[in-house]
Structures are given as structure tokens and as C-alpha cells.
């Protein structure tokens, strides 16, 4: 469906992004986060409690105690270096990708990134 020349250029752009320092750093920080077993356990606990909280909310129940536990877990996660470094590297990578989308948008005179900013 996509023109072969456009496809090749899109793949070349993806390869260029893979070669960026921001991408390599992101992969390293992701690896470090996955290796942090304590952070992984907290993330899993947070996700479970978050799901429980949303389920209760959908049933019309607001659980202050569970919200407090979520807030406490979030604070603990935000204090872990592996989590902070991962989030920072992810944000730097997203910033670069955003700049790429802005350049494409400018050239096309069409905001292709608008849907991602909603």
C-alpha cells in the first residue's frame, strides 16, 4: 500500500533514530530498570493497586486508603535512581522524536503529531 521509496526512507529514518545517543541511552536505562528487582516489584504492586483502585472507582467506591498506598508507592518509585534515569531518558528520546514529527509536519503543512499531544 505504501510507496516503496517512502517505505525505504521511513526505515532509514528509524535506523537513524536507533543510532542516536538518546535512543542508545534509553535502551541502557530500560535495561537498568529491568535489572532493578526492587523497582520491578514496586511497579508490579503499583499496577495491581492502581487496577484495584480503578475497578473500585468504576463501582462507585472511592478508597482513600488505597489512594494513600498508591501515592506512597509512587513516591518510593520516584526516589529510585533506576526509575528516575529511565523516565528522564525516555523523555529525552520523546523530545527528539517530537522534533522529527515537527519537521515532517512543517514540510507537509499538516500537524501529524497533533493526535499524540491530546
Average pLDDT over residues 66-90: 97
Alpha helices by DSSP H, listed for 1-118, are 4-18, 21-35, 37-58, 64-78, 81-108
Give the model's pLDDT for residue 112: 82
- In our burial notation (b when 16+ CB lie closer than 10 A, e otherwise), range 26-62 reads beebeebbeebeebeebbeebeebeeebeeeeeeeee
pLDDT digits (tens, 9 = 90+) for 2-29: 899 999 999 999 999 999 999 999 999 9
Model confidence pTM above 0.75: yes
Per-residue model confidence as pLDDT tens digits over 54-64: 999 999 999 99
Percent of the chain's residues with pLDDT above 90:
90
pLDDT cut 70: percent of the chain above it: 97
pLDDT at 101: 92
Amino acid at each position: 500500500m505504501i510507496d516503496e521509496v517512502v517505505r525505504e526512507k521511513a526505515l532509514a529514518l528509524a535506523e537513524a533514530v536507533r543510532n542516536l545517543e538518546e535512543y542508545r541511552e534509553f535502551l541502557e536505562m530500560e535495561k537498568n530498570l529491568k535489572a532493578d528487582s526492587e523497582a520491578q516489584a514496586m511497579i508490579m504492586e503499583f499496577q495491581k493497586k492502581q487496577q484495584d483502585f480503578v475497578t473500585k472507582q468504576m463501582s462507585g467506591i472511592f478508597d482513600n486508603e488505597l489512594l494513600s498506598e498508591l501515592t506512597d508507592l509512587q513516591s518510593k518509585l520516584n526516589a529510585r535512581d533506576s526509575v528516575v534515569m529511565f523516565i528522564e531518558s525516555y523523555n529525552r528520546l520523546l523530545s527528539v522524536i517530537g522534533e522529527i514529527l515537527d519537521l515532517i509536519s512543517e514540510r507537509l503543512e499538516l500537524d501529524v503529531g497533533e493526535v499524540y499531544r491530546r
